[in-house]
A and B are shown apart, each in its own frame.
Chain A
Amino acid sequence: DQQVKQNSPSLSVQEGRISILNCDYTNSMFDYFLWYKKYPAEGPTFLISISSIKDKNEDGRFTVFLNKSAKHLSLHIVPSQPGDSAVYFCAPTNTGNQFYFGTGTSLTVIP
């Protein structure tokens, strides 16, 4: 049973606009949430994370929002750039060492 879902398999955004990627989870024990970015033929790389004690974390153009009551998190990319075109995975954890990856959202930023 998929504990982590990213309901949009793909997303297209114009360069310079905001990209919003969503992630829903079912396990209320998850207490730390990471986002990974994956280019074709490469392994995923860590992008940004958030602890369950916060509701927002920002790093440059990337901001992650967490709504614990809704079991929902989102990644905002502003402004979007063509180099952001990749597959994005959310990956919560409740043990600190085992991560549960979502299904991924393929983002295309159109120049």
Chain B
Amino acid sequence: DVKVTQSSRYLVKRTGEKVFLECVQDMDHENMFWYRQDPGLGLRLIYFSYDVKMKEKGDIPEGYSVSREKKERFSLILESASTNQTSMYLCASGSPIINEKLFFGSGTQLSVL
């Protein structure tokens, strides 16, 4: 079974803190994604990566950065957390085969106070 593991299920941080969300997948997938889920807005793509050291902006990259130093690990970084970044963060991975489905982690519920 494919496993996508997010390091924390719940996280509480203060405004201005630097926050790291970690994601590890065990299927040797080239593609990895970070989404956030908010009520009424669905899943919105923050950043994605098709290869090690490669990153592409998604629809809402402002306030975020990412790091992909190893194929299995994709980190999302909030440089200076703000209250509007309180959300559910979902990591996903997938193979580069066209139309192949994504596999998601269980999510990290981040609260920024």
Contact = CB atoms under 8 A, between A and B. Distances in A.
Interface of A: 4, 6, 9, 32, 34, 41-46, 49, 51, 89, 91, 93, 96-104
Interface residues of B, number: 28
Interface of B: 4, 9, 31, 35, 40-45, 48, 50, 90, 92, 94, 96-107, 109
Contact of B99 (A32, A102, A103, A104): A32
Contacts, number: 57
A interface, by DSSP: helix, strand, loop or mixed?
Answer: loop
A103 B40 contact: yes
Contacts of B50: 97
A96 B102 contact: no
9 contacts: A32-B99, A41-B109, A43-B107, A44-B104, A46-B102, A46-B103, A49-B101, A51-B99, A98-B48
A8 B4 CA distance: 30
A55 to B, nearest CB: 17
A60 B90 CA distance: 28
Contacts of B94: 97
B96 A97 contact: yes
A93 B98 CA distance: 10
